[in-house]
Every structure is written in structure tokens, then in C-alpha cells.
Structure 1
Amino acid sequence: MADTAIFDVDGTLVDTNYHHALAWSRAFGRYGITLPMWRIHRGIGMGGDRFVPEIAGREVEQAHGDDLRATWSEEFDRLIGEVQPFEGAHELLAEVKERGFRLVLASSGKAQHVETFLDLFDGKSLADGWTTSDDVEVSKPQPDLLSTALAAVDGASGVMVGDSIFDAQAAARLQMPTLGVRTGGFSVGELHEAGVLQVFDSLVAFRQALDGTPLARASR
């Protein structure tokens, strides 16, 4: 049994994945790089340090990596006012807390973006801690973010909740179970193949099924 619930933020609690894809498309376009939107979307969930070489190639990373990430941030800032929380985000987190879990909101996003997102569902009033890109050097699918999140609340054992295969891959490196929601656009089959134990169509459906998940009751 676990004592800590670690929730991804982008794409899991707030509906940002397609905003991210559009911002990356525009950033690449400013450097004359045209990539199909579906290809960009397939990489959403990785940190920006891994995203550019994975999606556009090492040559693009070497030539424009840092500039692309800065440009992406500018483009995303233009869209962030349109971001909304997913239905039931606050209620789900509140119930997980009531069931005795330490709660960490684990994001590798920029600090100013994370602050904005948490305010959308009143996450600061619920979380025992949260992370930003300032807290890790290497992002998902490496497990550093989850290790940092667990340590932030002195947790002994965690359960990861995310929307992407990269969440599951990071958790698997720590032998941490993952629960998934389809809000990021990955299919049920893809999430299961990546190691996700159970997949839910929405946060509302997830909350209704909590009794049948590893988040039924905390170990402490």
C-alpha cells in the first residue's frame, strides 16, 4: 500500500496538451521548421529538454534547442489564459486527501505556469507539495521528477496518476504503480502497454472508481 499520491498536472488536471502542441508548432514555425501537428502531440508529456531532439531531431536540438524552448514559452504564454481545469479535478484531489494520502502535484513546467494551473483548481489548498522545472535537471520519462515529488513530502511509497505514456515510463523506473486518464489523448491500449494499471475516461469517472484502485486507502 502507498502513502503518497503523485498527480501529474499538465494534461491530467488541466486541459493543456493541445495548447502545448499549438505553441510548439508555432515555435518550430518561427525557425522555418514544419512538423505535422499529430507528431508534435505524440511528444507532449515529455519535458522540453527531451522534446526537441525526440520530435525534431538532434540537429535541430543542437542548432536551436534553447531558442526553441524560449520561443515555445512565449507562444504558450499567449494561450495560457484559455486553459481550463478538467471537471472534477478539485473534488478528486480532495477525496484522495480525505482517504489519508499525502498529495503531491508533480509538474516539470515552468514555475509561473504551474502557479497559474494550481490556482485554476485551488490545488495549493489541497497539496502537501508541488514541483516545477526548477526542481529537476532531467524530465520525464526519466524518474527524477517522481523521486523529487516523493521526497518533498517524506513519502515512503507512491502511486502515480497521469495522462501520458511518459508518466508511466517514469513511474516504472521506480517500480511505482500508475493510474491513467485519457485526457492527454493517448489510447487505452497505449497506456496499458506503457504499464498503466487502470485507465479512466475522466477525472469524474476516476473518482467514482477510487475504491477499486491503489488509492482506495493510504497505508499510514
Structure 2
Amino acid sequence: MADTALLDVDGTLVDTNYQHSLAWFRAFRRYDLTVPVWRIHRAVGMGGDQLVPAVAGDAFEGEHGDDAREAWEEEFDRLLPEVQPFDGARDLIVELGRRGWEVVLASSGEGRHVDAFLDLLDARELCEAWTSSDDAESSKPAPDLFQVALQRVGSTSGVVLGDSTWDVEAAARAGLPAVALRTGGYSVEELRGAGATSVHDSMRDLIAALDTTALAAPS
């Protein structure tokens, strides 16, 4: 029984992917490493434990990984006041709840960032639970975060909403269908190729088409 809507936060509900890319670029530069921003952007959606070796290499991860993640956090904090929710994000959460879904925000972000986004969305009372990077041993594209999110509400099945191929791949590894938004900058072909059941250009487009998606109603 799919009864839980598992919503990614960064890049899905709030517009953060380019802030994350810039924060990582600046973090790497502290260690005299210049990674093209487009290459970083392609990895946003992974957890920091996987992003660093993916874009900077295993040697850099071994020498500077933890320090680079701390630097990224400092750089992202400076950009946090610029973050805005996507148009329709709160309306989607309200509508999913109205349709009977248990709504869980399945974020791999830092706990205080997740708190800031909950306030930005005014969504604390609309969600049954939420996660952060502290809640899963391995980050996306590993399935751990979605599995933990389901456990939070005592569920075994749900539908994922995400914006990156990493979200869709993590959903597949957890045995869950995924609906995708293009707000992360990925193409329709990439998201469908990763396994998304439907792809939508914006939150408003998704809301308008909700009855035709895996998020139409709990089953």
C-alpha cells in the first residue's frame, strides 16, 4: 500500500541547487582545487559524502573530504538568505495531505538547513515527519534516506518526488516509484532514463497534472 509521499527538499521544494553548486565551488577553492561549476551541478543531489569523491576524486576525499564538507556548510550558510521556495511548493504539500497522503520531507540536508526550509515553506504542521543528513548512514543515490523516512511514519511503501537523477535512482533502489520535476536542471530524457514515472517542468505543472501521476492518491 503506497500511503506516504516522500518529498525531496533541496531543488524540489526550495530553489537551492545553484547555491549549492557555488558553495561547493568555493569550498574546493579553499584547497586550491578548481572544479568547473557545471560539473559540480551535475552531482548536486548526492550527499556530501558521495559528492566530494565523485567530483574531486578519491585522493582529495582522503586528504580534505571532511574539511571540504565543513567549508561547503560555511559557504552555503552565507547564501541561505537568498533561498526561496518554488512557486506552488506549499500548495502541493497541502494538496497531498488533502488527498490522504502521509507527507514526509526526505532531505539529506543539514538539520538546521532543513529547519530553515520548513520555516520558509511554513510547512511544519503540514508534514508528518522530516529527515536530515543525521538520519541515514549513506546518502543518495543510496536508498537509506527514503527507508528511514518511511520508518518515521510506520510505513513500508510510498511515492518519491525529486528533482535529480540521484533522487530517482535512490527511489528505485528502495523499490519506490518516483515522480520528477525539472527544477534541478535535468532533462526529461535523463529523469525518465533513471526511472521516473512522470516528469514535470514546474510545481504548478505537477499540481495541474496530479491526477495522472503516481501521486494522484494513496493506493
TM-score range, shorter chain: over 0.9
**C-alpha separation in 2, matches of 1:156 and 1:96:** 18
Aligned residue for 1:78, secondary structure, equals: helix
Aligned to 1:95: 95
Cα deviation for residue 154 of structure 1 reads: 1.0
Aligned to 2:108: 108
Cα deviation for residue 218 of structure 1 reads: 1.3
Deviations 1:87-139 (A, max 9, x none): 00000110001000111001011101110011111121210000001111110
The one-letter code of the counterpart of 2:83 is: V
Indicate if the aligned counterparts of 2:46 and 2:140 stay in contact, CA closer than 8 A: yes
**C-alpha separation in 1, matches of 2:29 and 2:142:** 28
Cα deviation for residue 217 of structure 1 reads: 1.4
Aligned to 2:132: 132
Unaligned runs of 5+ in 1: none
Aligned to 1:16: 16
Instruction: Tell me which stretches of 4 or more aligned residues in structure 1 moved more than 4 Å.
Output: none
Aligned to 2:64: 64
Aligned to 1:149: 149
The Cα RMSD (Å) is 0.7
Aligned to 2:50: 50
Indicate if the aligned counterparts of 1:7 and 1:161 stay in contact, CA closer than 8 A: yes
TM-score (norm 1): 0.98
**C-alpha separation in 1, matches of 2:73 and 2:170:** 24
**C-alpha separation in 2, matches of 1:2 and 1:12:** 21
Indicate if the aligned counterparts of 2:150 and 2:157 stay in contact, CA closer than 8 A: yes
Aligned residue for 2:15, secondary structure, equals: coil
The one-letter code of the counterpart of 1:184 is: G
Deviations 1:60-109 (A, max 9, x none): 00010000000000000000000000000000110001000111001011
2:141 counterpart of 1:172 = no
Matched residues, number: 219
2:204 counterpart of 1:204 = yes
Unaligned runs of 5+ in 2: none
Aligned residue for 2:197, secondary structure, equals: strand
Aligned residue for 1:103, secondary structure, equals: strand
Aligned to 1:2: 2
